[in-house]
Structure 1
């Protein structure tokens, strides 16, 4: 059986992002974290490969040592069904801090409470009240 996993490529801030994300979602943990050593090719201490879960959903991440002409884009986002207004507001505030609000928290017809933010790492999040 195939397994599908969201894979996030950072450029030097993967561990910071992972630790931030797992602090926001219950039932979250770092499952595996491998770092580059002195021998490289990435910067020593940066993430060679990580596996982590957010509320039971598995993700993978790396720090790319290669500079690319692209980064994260809102055309791909992580969609979160929040169970309460408090949860939605808390996540919106924390994820949006030092990031960018693409759609402010509001009623958009398709949802009574919805917001879309890019976090400070560039990852895009859609937050919806279930």
Structure 2
């Protein structure tokens, strides 16, 4: 994971005050993950002091960016766009499902749906949508 090998497309997540908490959770769940840089709002700046002005992080080797919006919006995350995770084994899908669904919303509980023997779709506690599939 190096900035020199930037991917052309980067997922950008806009939170409303919980970006750092989300990054910390996400990077703890996936190998090859780390927070690269975080810039916080300072006193008398546009955003709430200490909230994330801009951050870059890797999840499983993929680059993501996020912010805490300093503007209140009438929209948030939607399940129409989700992060799709191809899990290596039953232990991984079970662990990710437990952590990502905690205090979130279960859209499709972990089960056999015919198209996959183990699949789940959840909105996590921050509103980000995740599809978990056992390869």
Counterpart of 1:31 in 2: which secondary structure?
strand
Residue 65 in 1 paired to residue 70 in 2?
A: yes
1:129 paired residue number: 134
Q: Distance in 1 between matches of 2:56 and 2:104?
A: 24
1:9 paired residue number: 14
TM-score, normalised to structure 2's length? 0.94
1:42 paired residue number: 47
**Matched residues, number:** 130
Shift in Å at residue 39 of structure 1? Answer: 2.3
Q: How does 1:63-102 map to 2 (within 5 A)?
A: 63-102=68-107
Q: Relative to 1, partners in 2 of residues 1:32 and 1:2: Cα closer, same or farther, differing over 3 Å?
A: closer
Shift in Å at residue 10 of structure 1? Answer: 0.1
Q: Among 118, 123, 134, which residue is 1:113 paired with? A: 118
Q: Distance in 1 between matches of 2:74 and 2:21?
A: 22
Counterpart of 1:23 in 2: which secondary structure?
helix
TM-score, normalised to structure 1's length? 0.97
Residue 21 in 1 paired to residue 21 in 2?
A: no
Runs ≥4 residues deviating over 3 A: none
Where in structure 1 are there 5+ consecutive unaligned residues? none
Where in structure 2 are there 5+ consecutive unaligned residues? 1-5
Q: Distance in 1 between matches of 2:66 and 2:7?
A: 19
2:57 paired residue number: 52
Q: Distance in 2 between matches of 1:30 and 1:74?
A: 24
